[in-house]
Every structure is written in structure tokens, then in C-alpha cells.
């Protein structure tokens, strides 16, 4: 585990960039616009959803642009934290609560020529007491 004193300003900026991107991807207004989602997903993006289903960029765009995310029920995020695994690679973890469903989320973000993009995401159902 990295000591807090070992965290550089560059690492803090990298983690914050990944957090900002993650939170944007959870915004219904962003998810409804495929071009905005594509700005945040790596071309090689994959996800293992809380359902166990494997997703890629195309399947995610089909669902998000179909209006499956309701502005009336925003995702509540808690306990978000991140760490730099290597230069240009950030790992985030957090809980996402949406309509009574709590999911433990994990994302890998990598720095590309066009900015920080989500490379991998996984959701695991969690008990509400976790």
C-alpha cells in the first residue's frame, strides 16, 4: 500500500481526472448523448456488469442512448477512491446506489492521446448493509 506522503501532485491530478470522468458517465444527460459517452470510453472498453453480462462500447451505447437511465433516479455514489497503478493508469472503486440496488464498482482508466478514458469496468452486487 502506498503511503499518503508518497502520493505526488501528478498522481492526485490523474486520480481526480478519472473520478471526474466516472462521475460524468453517471450523469443521465451525458449517457443520453452517444458522442459524450464515446469521449469517455476507451476504444477497447469492456465491462462485466453486475448482472454478469459482458458489455462493450457498442452495447453500452445501445442501452444508454435508449433512455434506460432516468434523471428522476440519479445514481448515488459513495466511498469513491482511486489509486495510480502505473503512469497513465488509474483504478477507481466506489459504491453506486440506484433505485434500491447497491453495486460495488471498479474501473480502470487510462490516459490516451485524447485524455482519460475508461478502459474496463466491473460491477458486483452488494448487500445494502455493506
pLDDT tens for 92-118 read 999 999 888 899 999 999 999 999 999
Domain segments of the chain as ranges: 6-125
Give the span between the Cα atoms of 31 and 27, in whole angstroms.
6
Q: Are 90 and 83 in contact (CB under 8 A)?
A: yes
The CATH class given to the 6-125 domain equals alpha beta
pTM of the predicted structure, to 2 decimals: 0.85
Give the span between the Cα atoms of 50 and 65, in whole angstroms.
19
Q: Which three cell numbers stand for residue 9?
A: 501532485
Distance of CA 72 to the CA centre of its chain: 20
> Do the strands 41-48 and 115-125 form a parallel or antiparallel pair, or are they unpaired?
parallel
Give me the half-sphere count of Cα atoms (radius 13 Å) on the Cβ side of residue 74: 11
More confident residue, 63 or 130: 63
Amino acid at each position: 500500500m502506498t503511503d499518503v506522503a508518497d502520493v505526488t501532485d501528478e498522481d492526485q491530478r490523474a486520480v481526480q481526472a478519472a473520478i471526474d470522468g466516472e462521475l460524468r458517465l453517471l450523469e443521465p444527460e451525458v449517457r443520453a448523448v452517444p458522442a459524450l459517452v464515446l469521449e469517455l470510453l476507451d476504444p477497447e472498453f469492456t465491462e462485466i456488469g453486475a448482472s454478469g453480462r459482458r458489455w462493450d462500447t457498442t452495447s453500452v451505447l445501445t442501452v444508454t442512448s435508449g433512455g434506460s437511465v432516468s434523471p428522476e433516479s440519479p445514481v448515488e455514489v459513495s466511498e469513491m477512491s482511486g489509486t495510480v497503478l502505473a503512469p497513465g493508469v488509474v483504478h477507481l472503486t466506489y459504491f453506486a446506489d440506484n433505485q434500491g440496488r447497491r453495486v460495488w464498482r471498479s474501473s480502470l482508466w487510462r490516459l490516451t492521446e485524447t485524455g482519460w478514458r475508461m478502459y474496463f469496468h466491473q460491477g458486483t452486487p452488494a448487500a445494502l448493509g455493506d
